[in-house]
Amino acid sequence: MDSFHALLTLFQRHERFALSTHVNPDGDAIGSELALSIFLSKLGKTVRLFNTDPVPKKYQFLPYWENIENAQASVNFRPDVFVILDASSRERIGPFLNSRLVAKHAVVNIDHHITAETFGDYNIILTSVSSTSEIIYNFIKTTHIAIDEEIAICLYTGLMFDTGCFRYSNATSETHRIAADLIEIGDFAPDEVYSNVFEHIPLGKIHLLNQTLRTLKLTTDGKIATIFITQSMLDKTKTTLDDVEGFVNQIQAIESVQVAICVCELPDGNSKVSLRSQGQVDVAALASEFNGGGHERASGCRINRPYNDSIRMLVESAKHYIKD
């Protein structure tokens, strides 16, 4: 792994930066991306942010979220350094950015997933921490730039999201100390951050959840649970793929379930998959069979097959991981 010192040296030597993260960005992706962009701006650098998918409404309370541009806006921008955050693999930033955005000098890969690939010229991969936001916090702390209120709320949002509001096992004592520091620096109310991310739920999402739970199926032993969402369901409830976030957790909580599978039909007819486990099964290993990845208890992938085929394939593979 490359060191924080080497990363800071790289940042100081160059002037033009592009930042990006994975498709369907979550709180850690957006939070770490915005925090690093603010840091680079404090160094006096030119920074542009390009994401394949738009910023979900729930994160539009964060400072400078409107600076994140769509992928096509990068076509005439040639950065010295291209920083990719929280993506696991370069392909997960989306096909346009993956093929068209080329750095003059270096690609930096910053990630915490156990399935993270070392695709960068510089790779900062720390699988022992809670989130990419925690990595950015630790990095900035080694520099002469102070974490301010804007950086603090971005990083706290990332920590809160990727630890399941500090409920998951990745929320270590160090993670809690970092969260406390960010609250003190940022002078924000944690309950308001939580409310912005998790409590502003459109009515259509409730209708979609109702329809989704009607698709629930369990294997005969009750250890694998599946749900699915079709484009028709999204259209009828006037919702988007962003609204599906968290649905898989509803079936993960079923007492007998070891693997929870949520499959969303994409506009092109292929499938987006979310996998969860209560700890008995390493769903990152399951996801890797389909070129996906993530964490032992929470992972995902995309399968270039219709949703019903994808469910069948996932269930068959998941059976090999089930514990008696």
Same domain, 49 and 137: yes
Same domain, 188 and 282: no
Torsion of CA 298, 266, 318, 290, to 10 degrees: -90
Render each residue's pLDDT in the chain as its tens digit; 324 residues.
569 999 999 999 999 999 999 999 999 999 999 999 999 999 999 999 999 999 999 999 999 999 999 999 999 999 999 999 999 999 999 999 999 999 999 999 999 999 999 999 999 999 999 999 999 999 999 999 999 999 999 999 999 999 999 999 899 999 999 999 999 999 999 999 999 999 989 999 999 999 999 999 999 999 999 999 999 999 999 999 989 999 999 999 999 999 999 999 999 999 999 999 988 899 999 999 999 988 899 999 999 999 999 999 999 999 999 988
Q: Specify which residues 124 forms β-bridges with.
A: 110
Whole domain around residue 312: which residue ranges? 204-321
Same domain, 161 and 218: no
CATH assignment at residue 235: 3.10.310.30
Distances (CA, A) of 304 to 18, 157, 263, 301, 308: 29, 32, 12, 10, 12
CATH assignment at residue 189: 3.90.1640.10
CA 31, CA 17: separation in Å to the nearest integer? 17
Choose the final residue of a domain: 177, 198, 219.
198
Choose the final residue of a domain: 175, 198, 221.
198
Same domain, 300 and 279: yes
| Contact call for residues 241 and 264 (beta carbons, < 8 A) | yes
Same domain, 110 and 239: no
Closest C-alpha to 93, from 29, 159, 38: 29
| Contact call for residues 73 and 89 (beta carbons, < 8 A) | no
Same domain, 138 and 12: yes
Same domain, 79 and 124: yes
Same domain, 194 and 307: no
pTM comes to 0.92
Same domain, 129 and 270: no
Q: Count the domains in the chain.
A: 2
Choose the final residue of a domain: 130, 164, 198.
198
Same domain, 24 and 41: yes
Longest dimension (CA), the chain: 60
